[in-house]
């Protein structure tokens, strides 16, 4: 076989490449094309590069890798394409090729290794909680988050900027393995606790368990399932992703459904049948497992409500997580679920289809592009005049909360399950946020002594009232 930029293991499929007629419908929905207007930073431009990579004598050049790396993998182009081009399959085939056939600089390899070795391990994240809590209470955060220093620190600055304020209890909090259904049992549902979700967004998992149980599901949430491998799969680490994913099949074997409350995780888990298609031992199990995976809003809407929904008088802007809206095609279900909550007003922001810039580890690897997209998304959400924002993915929540804080706006960010939990528990509306936004960057003319409902500025871990209406400890 003649040498090309790609090796023989699942290169981009020429037949899928040929489906692209270069019509340009993808261009206004592609975040990087919207930012820069560069053809090679559009879906059809990257498809051209993939085709060149299949040419005899081609090489995986640094320029080619740059354009592939700049793709967020948001799949907005898949939603927009009138020809049905499977760009998701093309870019997911390309990323592992890049990792195998291109030698990244040592610093970049080390940073990627650190991210995967930390964020996919809940126990390691928990071990960091006391340090993060101490850091949050010190004066270092204000110093480090000065814009000039964030830019100087590059990827490390981006990582710090996205670090949430974590309560100490996150180090010890655990979900019960089994939460019984309230009333008649509809089905047994496995719940993926996740890695980042489990530690930094434990409230979301708790609210998800309560809401599922209230609507008649027995919830099985094994702590042994560490990570679904989505971060690695979306970044080209095919082996690392498969190693993590393969451990899940047996763990959830006795469940009727597997519920996911993180959009990026659900997208990968629904694709395991494709990921393991060549594995003679796991192909059937992977396909069977993927058939059971449901986003939690998808599952609850399919099965219908049981518990009474009480009023939550709140005006919220709904953010479409890309791996929910584009990769999974789920837009109506979360809106319908939220629409059943009395008193809740749902507002649609402009440019819903444009990514917020989170995209797995994209906001760490491409911090400037991610920051530009995050600011654009935050400004569109602020323009709605909503009291709160709702998003179904932890990466989006981190990204949006960081940008809101940088813009000086104290707007809380909820997961749909938290709002549903409030409605089922009869908590009413959460406490109102501070009436005046904080100044840019948390300093300057803002009144630092002005209290907020959560006892701190907006952002993850200090962004909302308790789901039960009780004061959190």
Tally of domains within the chain: 4
For 86, 320, 364, 376, 468, the CA distances from 38, given in Å and listed in that order, are 21, 25, 22, 19, 49
Under 8 Å between Cβ of 182 and 216: yes
Q: Which of 197, 259, 205 is nearest to 226 (CA)?
A: 197
Under 8 Å between Cβ of 432 and 453: yes
Q: Say if 147 falls within a structural domain.
A: yes
Q: Which of 360, 327, 273 is nearest to 86 (CA)?
A: 327
pLDDT at 151 over 90: no
Average pLDDT over residues 430-449: 38
Considering the domain architecture, whether residues 216 and 258 belong to the same structural domain is answered as yes
Task: Give pLDDT, residue 242.
Answer: 92
Average pLDDT over residues 27-49: 97
Percent of the chain with pLDDT over 70: 87
Average pLDDT over residues 27-52: 97
Considering the domain architecture, whether residues 205 and 270 belong to the same structural domain is answered as yes
Task: Give pLDDT, residue 175.
Answer: 93
Under 8 Å between Cβ of 416 and 297: yes
Task: Give pLDDT, residue 47.
Answer: 98
Percent of the chain with pLDDT over 90: 75
Task: Give pLDDT, residue 458.
Answer: 32
Q: Which of 253-257, 429-433, 456-460 has the lowest average pLDDT? A: 456-460
Task: Give CA–CA dist 201/117, Å, rounded.
Answer: 19
Task: Give CA–CA dist 421/436, Å, rounded.
Answer: 28
Q: Which of 201-205, 388-392, 456-460 has the lowest average pLDDT? A: 456-460
Residue 35 burial by CB count (10 A; 0-12/13-18/19+): exposed, middle or buried? middle
Q: Say if 457 falls within a structural domain.
A: no
Task: Give pLDDT, residue 144.
Answer: 66
Task: Give pLDDT, residue 129.
Answer: 87
pLDDT at 282 over 60: yes
For 125, 127, 141, 157, 168, the CA distances from 131, given in Å and listed in that order, are 10, 8, 12, 17, 9
Q: Say if 377 falls within a structural domain.
A: yes
Instruction: Name the H helices within 147-201.
Output: 147-153, 155-162, 196-200
Considering the domain architecture, whether residues 158 and 194 belong to the same structural domain is answered as no
Per residue in 339-370, pLDDT (tens digit) is 999 999 999 999 999 999 999 999 999 999 99
Average pLDDT over residues 64-76: 97
CATH number, domain containing residue 89: 1.10.1060.10
Helices (H) and strands (E) in the chain, counts: 26, 9
The gap between the terminal CA atoms of the chain, to the nearest Å, is 63
Query: Sheet containing 413-414: which strands, arranged edge to edge?
Result: 344-347, 314-319, 388-391, 413-414
- For residue 209, give every residue at least 6 positions away whose Cβ sits within 8 Å of its Cβ, in sequence order, or none: 175, 176, 179, 191, 219, 221
Question: Which among 47, 67, 101 is the end of a domain?
Answer: 101
473 three-class SS: coil
Q: pLDDT class for 134, splitting at 50, 70, 90?
A: confident
Q: Which of 135-139, 157-161, 192-196, 316-320 has the lowest average pLDDT? A: 135-139
Between residues 259 and 2, the one the model is more confident about: 259
Task: Give CA–CA dist 322/74, Å, rounded.
Answer: 5
pLDDT at 446 over 70: no
Token representation of residue 426? 């009869």
Token representation of residue 263? 């959009």
CATH number, domain containing residue 199: 3.40.50
Q: Which of 295, 291, 223 is nearest to 265 (CA)?
A: 295
Question: Which among 101, 121, 150 is the end of a domain?
Answer: 101
Between residues 35 and 442, the one the model is more confident about: 35
Average pLDDT of the chain, as a whole number:
87
For 92, 192, 273, 287, the CA distances from 284, given in Å and listed in that order, are 21, 21, 8, 5
pLDDT at 202 over 50: yes
Instruction: Name the H helices within 220-307.
Output: 230-233, 238-245, 248-251, 263-269, 272-275, 283-292, 296-303
Considering the domain architecture, whether residues 199 and 141 belong to the same structural domain is answered as no
Token representation of residue 314? 């709140």
Tokens 């993998």 identify what position?
A: 73
Considering the domain architecture, whether residues 143 and 263 belong to the same structural domain is answered as no
Q: Say if 468 falls within a structural domain.
A: no
pLDDT at 53 over 60: yes
pLDDT at 450 over 60: no
pLDDT at 391 over 50: yes
Residue 216 dihedral angles phi and psi, to the nearest 5°: 95, 15
Between residues 133 and 320, the one the model is more confident about: 320
Considering the domain architecture, whether residues 202 and 272 belong to the same structural domain is answered as yes
Q: Say if 461 falls within a structural domain.
A: no
Q: Say if 228 falls within a structural domain.
A: yes
Considering the domain architecture, whether residues 388 and 337 belong to the same structural domain is answered as yes
Considering the domain architecture, whether residues 161 and 181 belong to the same structural domain is answered as no
Task: Give pLDDT, residue 135.
Answer: 72
Considering the domain architecture, whether residues 177 and 166 belong to the same structural domain is answered as no
Question: Which among 245, 267, 301 is the end of a domain?
Answer: 301
Task: Give pLDDT, residue 451.
Answer: 31
Q: pLDDT class for 34, splitting at 50, 70, 90?
A: very high
Q: pLDDT class for 164, splitting at 50, 70, 90?
A: confident
Q: Say if 467 falls within a structural domain.
A: no
Q: Which of 192-196, 236-240, 447-451 has the lowest average pLDDT? A: 447-451
Task: Give CA–CA dist 281/238, Å, rounded.
Answer: 17
Task: Give CA–CA dist 323/263, Å, rounded.
Answer: 5
Q: pLDDT class for 161, splitting at 50, 70, 90?
A: confident
pLDDT at 460 over 50: no
Considering the domain architecture, whether residues 368 and 429 belong to the same structural domain is answered as yes
Q: Give CA torsion, residues 35, 38, 41, 47, to 10 deg.
A: 140
Task: Give CA–CA dist 230/222, Å, rounded.
Answer: 18
pLDDT at 467 over 50: no
Task: Give pLDDT, residue 251.
Answer: 92
Q: pLDDT class for 431, splitting at 50, 70, 90?
A: low
- Residue 434 lies in domain: 308-442
Between residues 166 and 136, the one the model is more confident about: 166
Tokens 């606790």 identify what position?
A: 193
Considering the domain architecture, whether residues 312 and 425 belong to the same structural domain is answered as yes
Query: Sheet containing 217-220: which strands, arranged edge to edge?
Result: 178-179, 217-220, 187-191, 257-260, 293-295
Per residue in 218-271, pLDDT (tens digit) is 999 999 998 999 999 999 999 999 999 988 998 999 999 999 999 999 999 999
Considering the domain architecture, whether residues 283 and 378 belong to the same structural domain is answered as no
pLDDT at 188 over 60: yes
Token representation of residue 464? 């909302």
CATH number, domain containing residue 345: 3.40.50.11810
Q: Say if 450 falls within a structural domain.
A: no
Residue 18 burial by CB count (10 A; 0-12/13-18/19+): exposed, middle or buried? exposed
């Amino acid at each position: 076989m003649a040498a090309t930029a790609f090796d023989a293991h699942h290169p981009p499929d020429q037949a899928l490449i040929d489906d692209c007629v270069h019509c340009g419908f993808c261009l206004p929905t592609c975040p990087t094309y919207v930012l820069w207007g560069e053809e090679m930073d559009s879906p059809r431009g990257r498809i051209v590069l993939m085709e060149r990579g299949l040419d005899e004598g081609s090489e995986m050049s640094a320029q080619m890798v740059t354009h592939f790396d700049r793709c967020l993998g948001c799949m907005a182009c898949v939603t927009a394409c009138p020809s049905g081009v499977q760009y998701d399959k093309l870019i997911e085939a390309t990323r592992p090729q890049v990792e195998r056939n291109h030698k990244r600089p040592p610093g970049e390899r080390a940073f990627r290794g650190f991210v995967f070795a930390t964020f996919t391990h809940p126990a390691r994240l928990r071990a960091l909680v006391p340090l993060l809590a101490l850091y949050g209470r010190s004066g270092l955060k204000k110093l480090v988050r000065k814009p000039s220093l964030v830019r100087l620190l590059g990827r490390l600055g981006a990582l710090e900027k996205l670090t949430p304020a974590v309560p100490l209890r996150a180090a010890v909090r655990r979900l019960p393995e089994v939460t019984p259904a309230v009333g008649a049992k509809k089905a047994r549902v496995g719940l993926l606790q996740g890695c980042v979700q489990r530690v930094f967004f434990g409230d979301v998992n708790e609210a998800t368990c309560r809401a599922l149980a209230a609507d008649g599901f027995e919830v099985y949430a094994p702590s042994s399932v560490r990570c679904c491998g989505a971060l690695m799969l979306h970044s080209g680490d095919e082996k690392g992703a498969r190693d993590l994913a393969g451990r899940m099949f047996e763990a959830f074997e006795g469940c009727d459904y597997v519920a996911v409350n993180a959009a990026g995780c659900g997208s990968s888990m629904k694709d395991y049948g494709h990921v393991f298609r060549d594995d003679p031992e796991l192909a059937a199990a992977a396909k069977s497992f993927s058939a059971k995976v449901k986003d939690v809003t998808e599952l609850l809407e399919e099965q219908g409500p049981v518990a009474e929904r009480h009023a939550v008088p709140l005006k919220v802007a709904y953010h479409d997580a890309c791996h929910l809206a584009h990769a999974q095609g789920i837009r109506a279900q979360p809106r319908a679920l939220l629409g059943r909550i009395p008193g809740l007003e749902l507002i649609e922001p402009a440019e819903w289809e444009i990514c917020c810039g989170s995209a797995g580890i994209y906001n760490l690897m491409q911090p400037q592009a991610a920051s530009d997209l995050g600011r654009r998304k935050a400004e569109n959400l602020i323009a709605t005049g909503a009291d709160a924002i709702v998003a179904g993915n932890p990466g989006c929540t981190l990204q949006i909360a960081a940008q809101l804080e940088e813009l000086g706006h104290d707007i809380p960010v909820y997961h749909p399950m938290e709002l549903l939990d409030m409605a089922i528990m009869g908590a009413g509306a959460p406490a109102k946020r501070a009436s005046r936004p904080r100044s840019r960057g948390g300093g300057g003319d803002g009144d630092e002594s002005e209290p907020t409902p959560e006892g701190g500025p907006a952002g993850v871990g200090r962004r909302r009232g308790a789901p039960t209406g009780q004061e959190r400890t």
